[in-house]
Chain A
Amino acid sequence: MEQVQVGKLQVLLDSFANKDVFLHLETTNGAYASHFDETVFNAGAFIRNIVVKYELGKVAGDSPHRVGLKLPHGWVYAQGITHFEMDEHGRLLMAGHDQTGKLAVALQISETPFTY
């Protein structure tokens, strides 16, 4: 993955617009967060291989960026995106990695389903 370059990522987001795409969206602070620190409220969400068709995709702000997808009847967004990659299967992988190298958020878009 490389650090987000807004212009480059924007072109990639545009290339998936108005198509049925499979979506992976995840936020996490780790299963051990409240084991290591009992004052942490552990929350996260995960959704994988949901089909959406967005009419507008936009990358916003300075790093860590926000990425939002406007749907006919709703929205998808992710906050904290630092890195991106178009992988060898033509999937757009975006992720937010914290200073210690831990993934905190992921947003991925693909024309084919992600593996299980």
Chain B
Amino acid sequence: MNLPQERHVLVVFPHPDDEAFGVSGTISMYIKQGIPVTYACLTLGEMGRNLGNPPFATRESLPHIRKQELIASAEAMGLTDLRMMGLRDKTVEFEDDEEMVEMMTKLIEETNPSLIITFYPEYAVHPDHEATARAVVRAVRRMDETLRPKLYGLAFANNTAAELGEADVIHDIQSVREQKMGAMRAHISQTAWMLAEMDKRLAAGEPEAENWFTFERFYTYRWHEDFEKLF
């Protein structure tokens, strides 16, 4: 199965590893199809809590490790346009809101995407996810309606199914299982415990674990239910 043709896909997330679980299969598929993909990662996950006990890293050495992991994840997906945007983990929501929109507008102008993938505002749990989603939505909202790229959001808040229902975009990613596994393993410092759990479940043939490597789900942004009137 192929994904529908795109001109350019822009992916925007705040943390190294945000891409791994939810969209690395999708990114890998676009790349396999020859569709250019840009991944803008806003921070280096400087405030990650998984530092081990005994510790394998410190608060100060973690960003260096996570930067290398991010690069390795990009390599696993075959992604060549990786942009590190230089913000600090957990501070994204405190940045100037207008500057955040401008950052997204610049990315959009430069890459001219036909599709943008980010988090879905109000259903993305982490404050950095929410701030990223808001900035992207605002930048796209400012565009002429006829020129707007498609906007897919990743939603995983506990109230997602109750309020948004089922995802309307479902990608069958079985053909890029190895790439997705590679992206997830690249972020080993933060995903080790999750991967250990996953390996166990995969070995036990649990359908839920197999699901990671079968489908990725997105919600098309509902402009008619915009999270705010204007900005």
List residues of chain A with CB under 8 Å of any chain B CB. Answer: 1, 3, 24, 26, 28, 30-32, 35, 38, 46, 82-83, 85, 87, 91, 93, 95, 97-104, 106, 108, 114-116
Contacts and interface: CB of A to CB of B under 8 A. Distances in A.
Nearest to B87: A116
Contacts of B90: 31, 46
A95 B60 contact: no
Contact of A106 (B59, B127, B128): B59
26 contacts: A1-B54, A3-B54, A26-B59, A28-B49, A31-B90, A31-B125, A31-B126, A35-B158, A46-B47, A83-B54, A83-B55, A87-B58, A93-B58, A95-B51, A95-B58, A95-B59, A97-B51, A97-B55, A98-B53, A100-B193, A101-B51, A101-B53, A102-B51, A103-B59, A114-B60, A116-B88
A83 B53 CA distance: 9
A93 B59 contact: yes
Contacts of A1: 54-55, 58
A18 B156 CA distance: 49
B157 interface: yes
Given A93-B59, A95-B58, A116-B88, A31 B51 contact: no
B50 interface: yes
Interface in B151-170: 157-158
B52 interface: yes
Interface in B10-29: none
Contacts of B125: 31-32, 35
Contact of B53 (A30, A38, A85, A99): A99
Nearest to A48: B88
Q: Determine the interface band of chain B, counting residues with CB < 8 A from chain A.
A: 20 to 34
B158 A38 contact: yes
Interface of B: 47, 49-55, 58-61, 63, 88, 90, 125-128, 157-158, 193
A58 to B, nearest CB: 22
**Most B-side CB within 10 Å, residue of A30, A87, A101:** A101
B88 A30 contact: no
A46 B125 CA distance: 20
The 6 closest A-B pairs by CB, nearest first: A101-B53, A97-B53, A102-B49, A101-B52, A1-B55, A31-B126
A7 to B, nearest CB: 20
A37 B54 CA distance: 26
Contacts of A28: 47, 49
A43 B157 CA distance: 19
Contacts of A102: 49-51
B46 to A, nearest CB: 8
A32 B58 contact: no
A91 B50 contact: no
A35 B157 contact: yes
A103 B63 CA distance: 14
A113 to B, nearest CB: 12
Given A28-B47, A35-B157, A93 B60 contact: yes
A108 B51 contact: no
A82 B157 CA distance: 33
B50 A101 contact: yes
Contacts of B47: 26, 28, 46
